[in-house]
Amino acid sequence: MKEKLTELARQAKARVGVAAKEATEFVKAHAPTEEDLSRAKAGLAQAGRTIGESALEFGKEVAQSKPWGSIAGVTVADLQAFANAWNRHDADALMEFMTDDCVFEASAGPDVNGTSYLGREAVRAAFCDVWKTFPDAQWHSPRHFVCDGRGVSEWTFTGTRADGTHVEVNGCDVFTFRQGKIAVKNSYRKNRPPLPAR
């Protein structure tokens, strides 16, 4: 995406140069004296350089701005806030990040994609079920990136079941964003046997 924007800026600069050349030919055909022509050519050349350089600088600034997931309105900071809400066990805060037709694909279940929960009500209930199964659930050391409407969060999950067995595994969420919110949360975890009760 960065390279594309920079290339677009270069193309804009080239098009300005072509326009300046055409304008120079027009002036040449209508200028009454060589002095008038020289002044017009110098002015057009300077205008072309200024516009072209501005376009190139704009492309560079955009390319160096926010992470590209922000094109869909979601940033790394948003994913960190989402992770913080998970660790607070705050369902209300989590659902603020989700679209109305959101989908949660859990890491376990009978289907090829685990278990799918469709819509806000089902997704919220599934989120809460995680905390019921693991009352002390935490997602440690989250790392995030976003790019072109997609995103990933990596973490280490820890939690203790009611029988005392303990789970500690690495995992990740793969996100699809739409209109500034999370449309799909697709979760993956390592398949490690539970640790004995402490």
pLDDT tens track for 31-85: 567 776 677 767 767 766 676 676 667 666 655 554 444 445 899 999 999 999 9
Among candidate residues 50, 65, 80, the one where a domain is terminated: 65
Q: What is the model's pLDDT at position 132?
A: 97
Do residue 48 and residue 81 come from a single domain?
no
Domain final residue pick, 65, 91, 117: 65
- Chosen domain end from 34, 49, 65: 65
Contact 169, 192 (CB under 8 A): yes
Q: Is residue 120 part of a domain?
A: yes
Q: Does residue 158 form part of some domain?
A: yes
- 34/96 Cα distance (integer angstroms): 68
The 10s digit of each residue's pLDDT in 121-149 is: 999 999 999 999 999 999 999 999 999 89
Q: Does any domain span residue 76?
A: yes
Query: What is the residue range of 160's domain?
Result: 69-189
**How far, in Å, CA of 124 to CA of 102, rounded?**
10
| DSSP letter assigned to residue 85 | H
Q: Which residue has the higher pLDDT, 36 or 91?
A: 91
pLDDT per residue as tens digits for the range 29-46: 665 677 766 777 677 677
3-state SS record for 35-79: HHHHHHHHHHHHHHHHHHHHHHHHHHHHHCCCCHHHHHCCCHHHH
Q: Are residues 33 and 129 in the same domain?
A: no
Does residue 75 share a domain with residue 39? no
Rounded Cα–Cα distance for residues 158 and 194 (Å): 10
Mean pLDDT of all residues in 149-164: 96
